[in-house]
Amino acid sequence: MRLLHSLVVIIGVLPMLVLSSCISFKSEYPKTTYYRLEDKPVQKAAKSTPEGLLVKPFTIDSEFDTDRMIVMANTTEAQPLHYHRWTSEPQELVTAHIANRLQQSGFFAGGVFTPASSVVPALQLEGRITEFLSRGTAQEGNVVSLRIHCAVQRIDSLGRINVLLQKVYLQSVRRGNDASTSIAPAMSEAASALCDALLADMSALLVR
């Protein structure tokens, strides 16, 4: 009887031990934190153009095509952060950020559009992101880097393309500290500054 009682106790306790170990095991995983590009104050354009602009979805080099934040662990190795991620892929975040900033600037009186719109203006902006990462102190003083190859085109009524501007824009912004949480604010500043540089070039090109 004692043996039978002991077996009953063990059988009753085992599920509790297994459940307890599972809860303990799961609690060891860090919580995943998601980030987005933050809106920065926009200065209204001094002059405007009556035209509209279509911002086409930006593309990105394959090594940065991930929602995980990427940090250069050393001078040659890029390390993705598994528990610090963007709310969507970088090319989507940057496209939306730049389109929104151009719209808020008021430079394009005809409006700023995406391919989802039924309006197709004559001016189009294309971009390819070739760098979207953070560097540690050992590399370049703890900064984020954003590099985009931008092309502004005019499409005539016959569908012929005239390239008005083609330029590589690079913005590096120092992070507030070495914590992963400092990446998104710095990258937001970089994206805003890059957009402002692009807008300055388009203003010089389109406003006479």
Residue 158 phi/psi, 5-degree rounding, is -95, 5
Question: In terms of residues, how long is the chain?
Answer: 208
What's the CA gap between 200 and 75, in Å, rounded?
33
Fold of 31-206: Rossmann fold (3.40.50)
pTM for the model stands at: 0.83
pLDDT at residue 158, rounded to an integer: 81
What's the CA gap between 68 and 144, in Å, rounded?
14
**Residue 74 in tokens:** 């050393």
**Residue 113 in tokens:** 């559009």
pLDDT at residue 108, rounded to an integer: 97
pLDDT in tens, the chain (208 residues): 554 444 444 445 445 544 455 544 555 678 999 999 999 999 899 899 999 999 999 999 999 999 999 998 776 778 899 999 999 999 999 999 999 999 999 999 999 999 988 888 999 999 999 999 998 765 566 899 999 999 999 998 888 899 999 999 999 999 988 889 999 999 999 999 999 999 999 999 998 7
pLDDT at residue 7, rounded to an integer: 41
